[in-house]
Structure 1
Amino acid sequence: MSENRPELGHKLTAGHLVGDYRIERSLGSGGMADVYYAIDQRLDRAVALKVLRTVLADDSTYQQRFQQEAKAAAALVHPNIVQIYNIGQDGLLRYIAQEYIPGINLRSYLADQVSELSPPNESAPIDESSNPNFNAKPGRQLPIAETISILLQVLAALNKSANVGIIHRDIKPENIMLTRDGEVKVTDFGLAHIQMGDDLQLTHPGTTLGTPMYMSPEQIQGGPLDIRSDLYSLGVTLFHVLYGRPPFQGETALALAMQHVQAPLPDLEPLREDVPKSLQKLLRRLLAKAPADRFSSPSQVLDYLYEHHRQDLVKCWPDRIIPMPDVSLLQQRSHQPELNAATQKLQTLLAAAPSTSRTSWATLILVVSALLGLAFWVGLRGAGLAKLGLSWPAPDQILAVKQAVYQDIPRQSDVRQQYVWALLNQSSGRVAIWEAVGHYFPASGDPMNRLYGGLAQLQMARLFEKAGDLDQATRRLVSITHDRQMLPLIQAYAWLELAIVERSRDHRDAMKQNVRKALDLRSKINSKKDLEQLDQAVRDMPSDIELYWTPASSDEENK
């Protein structure tokens, strides 16, 4: 098969190859890159491919900074951070392959009316520098519970980056991605630093600052930055979410920037009556001009929120991630013209599929145990622990996005049959056959779907590890270990696999800790058969992991 490589300077179109990635369509453009929806041909996986502008790729200083910062950002593995999969070069084209988020960014979500929005570009930034007016058009004000749901997830992402010493430098609604299930993912960690380094002054020759709508005073003045700068930008974003516009506006970038440096925060009381006092206090502290007057870390902000969640936030505190159905409507509309014969065929398969039957939990546990015994622990391997939280495949409404990956994978009558079909066809080595379990049968609201989705995540972790994609293997495993609705048996298996990973890295303490977490879960398993199978699985593992598997002592500690 002849390769369809683009010529330098030519626009990339569907079918072009960049490295291992086949371009499917354009997602949009930002200040430093053009963004495409592409398919990783090795792993049969959708990605957002950022192809850097040639003028930047030719600069040797930029190239070095790009390599350093992009590698650091790629090390951030967390469910609320858009994962960088690969950094590469194809001829003179330099690119970043990152996790594709089937959703829209927060800026689009905050626009006036959903029906009036132009189709959004998922995973793609909006280049604000082309807008000569820095007065933001008022948008909608999000409900308090939805706001807190978004805020907690962004803080979790920033807490992860702060713990490893990475500053985002460009927190704003455009860099916060949303899915219809309410999941939040922060994108473009470190890329502002890649583009402009430490000097972000307005007068820096040869650079375009863009809109300083969300920048901290010290960032605007070119001073030293730490995580408190990101917290200021988060405060501006939070103000925008609550009140429908950022706190400061101006006719020029310079005028707007000086307001961040000098102007007092507007009086919050008359702007919106239902904002709790604790959120108003939080905003004032996040938006303090001096970094020393702000919270010192995302962890401290989280502590503050949890301190008040039993007080004036109790009525609006989300006990779960708040779904955002408008995200689905916007994304679906953005893809309407692209439905083709393959998509229509897949929709026909979905419509013709029999309804899913319910199975009793007792029967389900036996089925899962049998499946695990037959398939999962053969050649058990994986990748290291590096994040918290959960991540689930997109729902069936995203057919147009996934059609290139799933069109040849038949939908079965129920989730169990889908998993069994994947088991029978696993010799193909395709990630997509396992991902289709969650794609056709989303976990939300259905414990049976969630269970088999977790099993499919375990299988995918093994495939990613074999392909050398350790970060993705980690994401699959940790999504199980921190899913509070997942069965303890499945979580225990995931922790044990993570223990094997730490063993391969010669991280003995981490290995022992992960075995201990699996042991803690063992104490929550009531089925004697499940306990026997779990213990047998450990006996089939390396001897030093078995050495730390001491159910008797664990049971005694948990009495």
Structure 2
Amino acid sequence: MSPSRVLGGRYRLGEVIGRGGTSVVHSAHDLRAGRRVAVKVLRQELAADPQLASRFRREGQLLAGLRHPAIVTFLDAGWDAVDGSSPDRVCVPFLVMDHVPGRSLRELLKQGDSTLERSISYQLGVLSALEFSHRAGVVHRDIKPGNVIITPDHTVTVVDFGIARDGSDPAATLTHAQAFLGTPAYLSPEQARGATAGARSDLYSAGCLLYELLAGRPPFVGDDPVSVAYQHVHEEPATLSTHRPDLAPALDAVLAKALAKSPDDRFQDARAFARALRSAAHGLTPHPGGAQARAVVHDVPLTFGRGIDTGTAALAC
């Protein structure tokens, strides 16, 4: 889908700011509201796949029910007809979200210049988002550095709920041929086995994220996705002190619980994970939960059922 195209008569596409296996994210201009937004478009060649189209639509439905400072804000949804004059036209769905300025945590990790205080702050921001989404019954299922945006003032936004599921719907466990639902380096053991992912699966992935923030690499690496998945199921990661002897053993204890093979042995919710991390970090940094962690909000009133902007959502294709 070419830049400068206008979707739904409203969103003029600009540069590509992100790519995934099934979708492309564009910076766009909302012609009606006069502001910059992000538009996620399902790849045209995949739009005819009913499973992928359903998964894509579900992402919008789930995001529409979440409002939290550390979760990307959903604005609108619609369809765009490609080759509309043809009887075989393809209806390509798209989602519209706030444009979040900044860089992904993956980019920052590659630079390797994050301080310990900021690393802990970023992790607390992710856990804040997960606490909220889990209380709303939404499991993300793909927590990884590439899905965490850090703004210029160091606040955290979790994005890409593309393979999320409603935790109250046990049937919502989509799979796709020859593909992991999740990213191998951050995959929970139960996901690697093909079992249903729950909230504690997200916490395992968040544990992998914390490990990489502190050690500079994920807990398991390998030559291919299968070997990495095997390690998640059968092997224990090296202790954090192997990579960072300067860090306190208390952080190893937090990681050991977060990365437990059985969900029953992990932190049972994101709040408990955050509480343990703060306790372990006490004394390591001046203010592990201070000004740098402005995205960390544990007592925000829950706001669900946020309506979709019907200006485009009602668009029939």
Cα RMSD of the aligned pairs, angstroms, is 2.6
The residue that corresponds to 1:51 in the other structure is 41
Question: 1:89 is aligned with what amino acid?
Answer: W
Structure 1 position 322, deviation (Å): 6.2
- Look up the equivalent residue of 1:226 and give its one-letter code: G
The equivalent of 2:259 in structure 1 is: 287
2:67 is the alignment partner of 1:77? yes
Q: Secondary structure at the match of 2:95?
A: strand
Conserved 8 A contact 2:181-2:191: no
More strand by share: 2
Query: Structure 2 vs 1, CA of residues 261 and 191 (structure 1 numbering), >3 Å: closer, same or farther?
Result: same
Cα distance in 2, alignment partners of residues 312 and 277 from structure 1: 13
Residue 77 of structure 1: SS of its match in structure 2? coil
Letter in 2 for 1:148: I
Would the aligned equivalents of 2:208 and 2:219 in 1 still touch at CA under 8 Å?
A: yes
Name the aligned partner's letter for residue 250 of structure 1. G
Cα distance between partner residues in 2 of 1:144 and 1:297: 23
Shift of 1:154: 0.7
Q: Are the counterparts in 1 of residues 139 and 164 from structure 2 also a CA contact under 8 Å?
A: no
Which of 136, 145, 163 pairs up with 1:173?
145
Aligned residues between the structures: 287
> What residue number does 1:108 align with?
107
Does structure 1 residue 217 correspond to structure 2 residue 189? Answer: yes
1:199 deviates by 5.1
Equivalent-residue separation in structure 2 for 1:209 and 1:45 (angstroms): 33
Q: 1:386 Cα shift?
A: 4.2
Instruction: State the shift of 1:32 in Å.
Output: 1.1
Alpha-carbon distance between aligned partners in 1 of 2:180 and 2:261, rounded to the nearest angstrom: 24
Matched with 2:173 is: 198
CA-CA distance at 1:210 after TM superposition: 7.4
Given residue 100 of structure 1, which amino acid in structure 2 is its aligned partner? H
How far 1:95 sits from its partner (Å)? 0.4
Correspondence for 1:233? 205
Pair 1:89 & 2:79 matched:
yes
Aligned partners of 1:290 and 1:184: how far apart in 2? Answer: 28
Once the two structures are superposed, the pairs formed by residues 309-348 of structure 1 within 5 Å of their partners are 311-313=282-284, 315=286, 317-321=288-292
Partner of 1:251: 223
* SS in structure 2 at match of 1:270: helix
Deviation string 1:191-230 (CA, Å, 9 cap, x unpaired) is 3559xx6255xxx635466741111000111112211000
- Alignment-derived partner of residue 538 in structure 1: none
Amino acid at match of 1:16: R
User: Partner of 1:297 in structure 2?
Assistant: 269
8 Å CA contact retained: 1:32, 1:52: yes
- TM-score, reference length from structure 2: 0.82
Q: Is contact 1:144–1:275 with CA below 8 Å preserved after alignment? A: no
Displacement after TM superposition at 1:57 (Å): 1.9
- Whether the 8 Å contact between 1:48 and 1:100 is mirrored in structure 2 is yes
Cα distance in 2 for residues equivalent to 1:468 and 1:55: 26
State the shift of 1:67 in Å: 2.7
Q: Which residue does the alignment assign to 1:160?
A: 132
Does the 8 Å contact 1:145/1:322 carry over to 2?
no
Which amino acid in structure 2 is aligned with residue 321 of structure 1? Q
Deviations 1:457-487, CA, capped at 9 Å, x for gaps: xxxxxxxx9x889xxxxxxxxxxxxxxxxxx
- Contact 2:117/2:285, CA 8 A, preserved across alignment: no
Alpha-carbon distance in structure 2 between the residues aligned to 1:181 and 1:206 = 40
Structure 1 residues 415-430: aligned runs within 5 Å: none
1: distance between equivalents of 2:38 and 2:285? 38
**Residue pairs, 1:314-463, within 5 angstroms:** 315=286, 317-321=288-292, 386=302
Q: Are 2:116 and 2:285, in contact at CA under 8 Å, matched by a contact in 1?
A: no
Q: Indicate how the Cα distance of structure 1 residues 229 and 260 shifts in structure 2: closer, same or farther if over 3 A, else same.
A: same
Moved more, 276-285 or 146-155: 276-285
The share of aligned pairs that are identical, in percent, is: 36
Aligned equivalents of 1:289 and 1:266: distance in 2? 14
Q: Take 2:212 and 2:144, find their aligned partners in 1: how far apart are those partners?
A: 10
Q: Distance in 1 between matches of 2:260 and 2:270?
A: 15
What is the CA distance between 1:239 and its match in structure 2? 0.7
List per-residue Cα deviations over 1:247-272 (Å, max 9, x = no partner).
11111111111011111121222311
Q: Which runs of 5+ in 1 are unaligned?
A: 1-10, 113-139, 324-384, 388-464, 470-559
* Whole-angstrom CA distance in 2 between matches of 1:277 and 1:208: 33
1:182 Cα shift? 0.4
Deviation at 1:147, TM superposition (A): 1.1
Q: Find the residue that maps to 2:218 and give its secondary structure.
A: coil
Q: Return the offset for 1:152.
A: 1.2
**If the length of structure 1 is used for normalisation, what is the TM-score?**
0.48
Larger Rg over CA atoms: 1
Matched-pair contact (CA < 8 Å) for 1:169–1:230: yes
User: What's the secondary structure of 1:50's corresponding residue?
Assistant: strand
Counterpart contact for 2:53–2:93, Cα < 8 Å = no
1:56-71 aligned within 5 A: 56-71=46-61
Question: Does 1:42 pair with 2:32?
Answer: yes
The one of 18, 28, 31 equivalent to 1:28 is: 18
Looking at structure 2, the residues matched to 305 and 186 of structure 1 have their Cα atoms a distance apart, in angstroms, of 19
* Cα pair distance change 1:216/1:249, threshold 3 Å: same
Q: Which residue of 2 aligns with 1:369?
A: none
Q: Offset at 1:276? A: 2.7
Deviation at 1:99, TM superposition (A): 1.2
